[in-house]
Amino acid sequence: MAYYITEDCIGCTSCAKLCPTGAAQGEKKKHHQIVQEHCIECGTCGRICPKDAVEDPFGSRVKGEKKKFWKKPEFNLKTCSACGICVDACPVGCIIYGKASKKDKTAYPELISNDGCISCGFCVYECPVDAVTLVPPQDVAEEKNVA
């Protein structure tokens, strides 16, 4: 099953702009839709929606959130096996192998684009050694604590 855009959609085009597969489609100020066959269930459409007009595959409304609050992957290099599954799992190519360390000659994954990351969590779900977690951006976490 795929995500679904409800009648509450205002046609802001945010979902269409960020959808990594082009599954979210529509014209400005008109109801958008998700092409089921193209949806990879990353949830980006729901996270970016300012009107909470997206339902997940289980029929629950997805709560929209400002992009600056989206969690980003963090890699525990003590447990990471450098297998590359997280690199392959990232639908937007934001995770790559970094440079090999001089100490152990291993190239570990790293996030190369905070802004490009869609916080889908595929890297977390696919990691066979639980070395990836999603965490709020540091400056945003501090901002939320102050507010």
CB 47 within 8 A of CB 24: no
Residues across the chain: 147
So what's the pLDDT on residue 101? Answer: 76
Write the pLDDT tens digit of every residue in 34-47: 999 999 999 999 99
Non-local (6+) Cβ contacts of 139 within 8 A are none
Write the pLDDT tens digit of every residue in 51-103: 999 999 999 999 999 999 999 999 999 999 999 999 999 999 999 999 887 78
Q: CATH no. for residue 26?
A: 3.30.70.20
- Same domain for 75 and 134, yes or no, is yes
What's the mean pLDDT when you consider all of the chain?
93
So what's the pLDDT on residue 92? Answer: 97
- Same domain for 51 and 74, yes or no, is no
pLDDT at 142 over 60: no
- Same domain for 50 and 83, yes or no, is no
pLDDT-derived band of residue 145, with 50, 70 and 90 as boundaries? low
So what's the pLDDT on residue 119? Answer: 97
So what's the pLDDT on residue 100? Answer: 87
CB 125 within 8 A of CB 41: no
How far, in Å, CA of 1 to CA of 43, rounded? 12
Mean pLDDT of 116-129: 98
Full-model pTM = 0.88
- 64 within a domain of the structure (yes/no): no
So what's the pLDDT on residue 111? Answer: 97
So what's the pLDDT on residue 105? Answer: 87
Start-to-end CA distance of the chain, whole Å, equals 38
Tokens in use for 109?
A: 């994954």
What is the DSSP code (8-state) at residue 126? H
- Same domain for 106 and 77, yes or no, is yes
Q: Compute how many other C-beta atoms are within 10 angstroms of the C-beta atom of residue 23.
A: 22
Give the residue among 67, 118, 115 at the shortest CA–CA distance from 92: 118
- Same domain for 74 and 122, yes or no, is yes
pLDDT-derived band of residue 138, with 50, 70 and 90 as boundaries? confident
So what's the pLDDT on residue 70? Answer: 97
